[in-house]
Amino acid sequence: MSLKTQEMVLNMGPQHPSTHGVLRLELELEGELILDVKPHIGYLHRCFEKHCEAMTYPQVIPYTDRMDYLAAMYNNFGYAVAVERMLGIEVPERVEYIRVIMGELQRIASHLVAIGTYGIDIGAFTPFLYCFRDREKILNLFEMTCGARLLYNYMWVGGLSHDIHPDFQRLTKEFIDYFKPQVKELNNLLSYNKIFIDRTADVGVLPLDTAINYGITGPNLRASGLKFDIRKDDPYSIYDRFDFDIPIGEGTHGTVGDCWDRYYIRVLEIEQSIRIIEQAIDNIPEGDVQSAIPKRIKPPKGTIYTRVENPKGELGYFIISDGSVNPWRVKVRAPSFVNLTVMGELCKGHLVADVIAILGSIDIVLGEIDR
């Protein structure tokens, strides 16, 4: 007589504390061992791309906020760059500088959420609150600039919705001075913690060729060891003027491309973002931030694909114009969506606790996956 065994199917999510939103993972388990992972998405689908077809070009901007709501500035940024390239607008220097500063502040804020929530995923609650405390200060800067704390609608085609506050430069410098030691504290508290390293090193190793095959971008790709950053490799705005490094994963505590590398890349990127802000903050030229905003935005017939380095990876806008005031089609290449596809590959043979560690290290935002 042979005994029949059956695998346990565990639905993790959509209501689960650490699926970072409304992701559902269908886990096939043998005890605690993962045999298969199937991500189910679509719980947050809001028809962003279809909506865009009924909007005029500027009206799309608030919708881009709502994709990656942790990096709304950068979504605005990418869209603005795409439409400006279609129209062939030259943006004033002042606007470019402010955009870069806001973008990098947004990158720090987004990475802080990634790092903090990753701490929670691993079981450390305190770093999460430290990260959010510091992110709050960035949000205050944003609020001072444009009145909003999460969804900014700040970067318009050809300009900005508001000029910066007279105190903005001083307060940003104060923030940077305050924030630099905090990164060190965070490292001591979480990054170099023995238990944290045990939990994340050699877990969910993403080899470089797999990463490239799946189209992984952003910190996840760099953690696998490829120096690829659109800010350097396909420069937009004025990123070519600044001096910063692209950190890559080195497998300090395990294999290159493991969860610890993916986590630590974000810490290193925060430091690089600080460098960019430091170089830009004192050099903002005078000028009018709204002088280049066109009265009527009507790009010529044609298509464009523009990509920017969003905190999560390559954010691409593919826009088809039929020459009218409405875009004919706006397709978004969402980094979180592409990065999530590798989930099943990474989880096989790991334990349930590792699924959380891997998912957290990929750093997804469901608003962007489902759009």
Partner 1 sequence: MYEILTDIIGNQIVAYVIAAALPLFVFILPFALVAVLAERKVSAFMQDRLGPMRTGPYGLLQTVADILKLIQKEDIVASDTDKKLFNLAPILVFAGSYAAFAAIPFTSAYIGSSADVGIFFIIAISSLVVAGILMAGWASNNKYSLLGSMRSVAQIISYEIPAALVILTMVMLTGTLSLSEMTEMQTQYFWNWNIFGGAETGIVKILLIPFMLVGFIIFYISSLAEVNRTPFDIPEAESELVAGYHTEYSGMKFAMFFLAEYANMFAVSAIVVALFFGGYHSPFGYLGNAIGIDWLIPVEQLFWFTVKGTFFVIVQMWLRWTLPRLRVDQLMNVCWKYLIPYAFVNLIIVGILTLL
Query: Do β-strands 327-333 and 313-321 pair in parallel, antiparallel, or remain unpaired?
Result: antiparallel
How many CA atoms lie within 13 Å of 151's alpha carbon, on the beta-carbon side? Answer: 11
Binding partner 1 (rule: CB under 8 A), the pick from 120, 160, 223, 369 is 120
Binding partner 1 (rule: CB under 8 A), the pick from 129, 140, 184, 291 is 129
User: Which lies closer to partner 1 via its Cβ, residue 178 or residue 305?
Assistant: 178
Q: How many residues bind partner 1 (CB under 8 A)?
A: 29
User: Min. distance of Cβ 193 from partner 1 in angstroms?
Assistant: 6
Query: Of residues 14-43, which lie at the interface with partner 1 (CB under 8 A)?
Result: 16-18, 32
Order the strands of the 24-30 sheet from edge to edge.
Answer: 8-12, 24-30, 33-40
Query: Of residues 307-346, which lie at the interface with partner 1 (CB under 8 A)?
Result: none
- Residue 113 makes CB contacts below 8 A (sequence gap 6+) with 70, 131, 132, 135
Is residue 349 a contact point for partner 1 (CB under 8 A)? Answer: no
User: Which lies closer to partner 1 via its Cβ, residue 182 or residue 326?
Assistant: 182
The secondary structure of 245-294, three-state, reads: CCCCCCCCCCCCCCHHHHHHHHHHHHHHHHHHHHHHHCCCCCCCCCCCCC
Q: What is the CA radius of gyration of the chain?
A: 21
User: Min. distance of Cβ 364 from partner 1 in angstroms?
Assistant: 15
- Binding part of the chain for partner 1, among 66-74, 104-112, 118-126, 204-212 by CB under 8 A, reads 118-126
User: Which lies closer to partner 1 via its Cβ, residue 132 or residue 328?
Assistant: 132
Range list of H helices, 300-351: 335-340, 343-347
Query: Do β-strands 155-156 and 327-333 pair in parallel, antiparallel, or remain unpaired?
Result: unpaired
Residue 292: closest CA among 112, 89, 87: 89
User: Min. distance of Cβ 29 from partner 1 in angstroms?
Assistant: 8
Is residue 124 a contact point for partner 1 (CB under 8 A)? Answer: yes
Is residue 263 a contact point for partner 1 (CB under 8 A)? Answer: no
**Are the C-beta atoms of 153 and 76 separated by less than 8 Å?**
yes
User: Min. distance of Cβ 211 from partner 1 in angstroms?
Assistant: 24
Binding partner 1 (rule: CB under 8 A), the pick from 98, 115, 356, 366 is 356
Binding partner 1 (rule: CB under 8 A), the pick from 57, 63, 97, 130 is 130
3-state SS, residue 24: strand
**Are the C-beta atoms of 190 and 200 separated by less than 8 Å?**
no
User: Min. distance of Cβ 112 from partner 1 in angstroms?
Assistant: 14
Residue 370: closest CA among 20, 12, 116, 109: 20
User: Min. distance of Cβ 121 from partner 1 in angstroms?
Assistant: 5
- Binding part of the chain for partner 1, among 214-222, 230-238, 258-266, 347-355 by CB under 8 A, reads 347-355
User: Which lies closer to partner 1 via its Cβ, residue 84 or residue 258?
Assistant: 258
Q: From residue 172 to residue 211, what is the string marking binding to partner 1 with x (rule CB under 8 A)?
A: -----------------xx--x-xx-xx------------
- Which two tokens mark 139? 């949000």
Binding partner 1 (rule: CB under 8 A), the pick from 133, 170, 180, 227 is 133
User: DSSP labels for 33-95?
Assistant: EEEEEEEE--TT---HHHHHHTS-TGGGHHHHHTTSTTSHHHHHHHHHHHHHHHHTPPPPHHH
User: Min. distance of Cβ 181 from partner 1 in angstroms?
Assistant: 14
- Which two tokens mark 4? 């029949």
User: Min. distance of Cβ 176 from partner 1 in angstroms?
Assistant: 19
**Residues near partner 1, by CB under 8 A:** 8, 10, 16-18, 32, 119-126, 129-130, 133, 189-190, 193, 195-196, 198-199, 351-354, 356
